[in-house]
Amino acid sequence: MSLTCEQLIQRYSESWEKATVHPFLNECQSGKIKPEQFNTWLVQDYLFVTQFTRFLASAIANAPVTHFDVLLGGMSAIKDELNWFQEKAQERNLDLSTEKQQTCQAYCEYLHHIQNMAYPIQAVALWAIELAYNQAWQKPGKMVPPYDEFAQRWGNPNFTEYVKLLEKQADEALAEADSEVEKQATATFVKIASLEKDFWQMAYKK
Ligand SMILES: Cc1ncc(C[n+]2csc(CCO)c2C)c(N)n1
Mean pLDDT of 72-77: 98
DSSP string, 133-171: HHHHTTTT-SPPTTTHHHHHHHHSHHHHHHHHHHHHHHH
Using pLDDT thresholds of 50, 70 and 90, give the confidence band for residue 191. very high
Which of 16, 20, 49 has the most ligand 1 atoms within 8 A of CB, as the residue to mutate? 49
- Reported as a single tens digit per residue, the pLDDT across 126-185 is 999 999 999 999 999 999 999 999 999 999 999 999 999 999 999 999 999 999 999 999
Q: Say what the pLDDT of residue 199 is.
A: 98
Using pLDDT thresholds of 50, 70 and 90, give the confidence band for residue 206. confident
Catalytic, out of 27, 87, 91, 196: 196
Q: What percent of the chain has pLDDT over 70?
A: 100
Our answer on whether the CB atom of 150 is closer than 6 Å to any ligand 1 atom is no
96: CB partners within 8 A, 6+ apart: 43, 46, 47, 85, 86, 89
Question: In the CATH scheme, what is the code of domain 5-90+99-204?
Answer: 1.20.910.10
Using pLDDT thresholds of 50, 70 and 90, give the confidence band for residue 1. confident
Q: Say what the pLDDT of residue 40 is.
A: 98
Our answer on whether the CB atom of 165 is closer than 6 Å to any ligand 1 atom is no
Q: Which residue, judged by its Cα, is nearest atom 4 of ligand 1?
A: 129
Our answer on whether the CB atom of 106 is closer than 6 Å to any ligand 1 atom is no
Give the domain ranges of the chain.
5-90+99-204
Instruction: Return d(Cα 178, Cα 29) in angstroms, integer.
Output: 42
Q: In this structure, how many other beta carbons lie within 10 angstroms of the beta carbon of residue 131?
A: 23
- 49 Cα to the center of ligand 1, angstroms: 6
Sign of the CA dihedral running 167, 171, 177, 180: positive
ipTM for the whole predicted complex goes beyond 0.95: yes
- Reported as a single tens digit per residue, the pLDDT across 11-51 is 999 999 999 999 999 999 999 999 999 999 999 999 999 99
- Reported as a single tens digit per residue, the pLDDT across 43-67 is 999 999 999 999 999 999 999 999 9
Our answer on whether the CB atom of 46 is closer than 6 Å to any ligand 1 atom is no
**Closest Cα to residue 51, out of 204, 205, 189, 195?**
195
- Reported as a single tens digit per residue, the pLDDT across 95-141 is 999 999 999 999 999 999 999 899 999 999 999 999 999 999 999 99
pTM over 0.90: yes
| Angle, vertex CA 83, rays to CA 79 and CA 84, nearest 5 | 115
Q: Say what the pLDDT of residue 76 is.
A: 97
